[in-house]
A and B are shown apart, each in its own frame.
Chain A
Amino acid sequence: SQQGEEDPQALSIQEGENATMNCSYKTSINNLQWYRQNSGRGLVHLILIRSNEREKHSGRLRVTLDTSKKSSSLLITASRAADTASYFCATDNYGQNFVFGPGTRLSVLP
């Protein structure tokens, strides 16, 4: 079964707006990662946050992690049409495989 659960399942915003996606998970994790997938393509790694970190930034991306609530959020600021994609969180089982959630489908309208 998938451990991570993204919320919302789908999000539609205007270009220039910010997009926030959330991820909840069930068991203890080592780190949490966010990936993007364009239609018909493989996943692309965006950012990794370790279990002892609370916030991380990369360009227009901001990720937070709350291990007490077993949740993470991904914020994309000043969104662009090219940000249209599905976004997945993935958790690892302490060095073993990665478990992905069902994803959030983001549509950025020009």
Chain B
Amino acid sequence: DTGVSQNPRHKITKRGQNVTFRCDPISEHNRLYWYRQTLGQGPEFLTYFQNEAQLEKSRLLSDRFSAERPKGSFSTLEIQRTEQGDSAMYLCASSLPPTDYYNSPLHFGNGTRLTVT
């Protein structure tokens, strides 16, 4: 168990540019989540996958955001035409499937900090 890995750790980009982040979950975890966190706030749900299927997407997520998990392993989160309001920490988490109708704990990566100038 090497943990959840996120790359890059930091990304500075100019407004209007596209950025892509990568998340490598724990290998046996079939669920993968993306969250966004701004300073002093809790993580805000963006989307989650079960294997390669994207099962839920936040209504707050604009169409500039897209996430993929093509083979049910790693995932990418792309933000097109970045805006200054996109500056945040983007967190990825993975988990085992639910057991007995109860969710399993999330295992988080250390995040990608995005700064849009």
Contact = CB atoms under 8 A, between A and B. Distances in A.
Contacts of B106: 33, 35, 43, 45, 90, 98
A98 B45 contact: yes
Which of B43, B93, B108 is the most central at the interface, judged by chain A CB atoms within 10 Å of its CB? B43
Task: Assign chain A's interface to a size class.
Answer: 20 to 34
Contacts of A43: 43, 91, 93, 106, 108
B101 A95 contact: yes
B66 to A, nearest CB: 17
B42 A98 contact: no
B107 interface: yes
Contact of B56 (A41, A90, A96, A103): A96
Contacts of B103: 30-31, 92, 95, 98
Interface of B: 4, 33, 35, 40-45, 48, 55-56, 58, 91, 93, 98, 101-103, 105-111, 113
19 contacts: A2-B42, A30-B103, A40-B110, A42-B93, A42-B109, A42-B110, A42-B111, A43-B43, A43-B93, A43-B108, A44-B108, A48-B102, A88-B42, A94-B101, A96-B56, A97-B56, A100-B43, A102-B41, A102-B42
A89 to B, nearest CB: 9
B29 to A, nearest CB: 13
A34 to B, nearest CB: 10
A10 to B, nearest CB: 10
Contacts of B98: 95
A42 B42 contact: no
A33 B113 CA distance: 25
Contact of B42 (A45, A95, A97, A100): A100
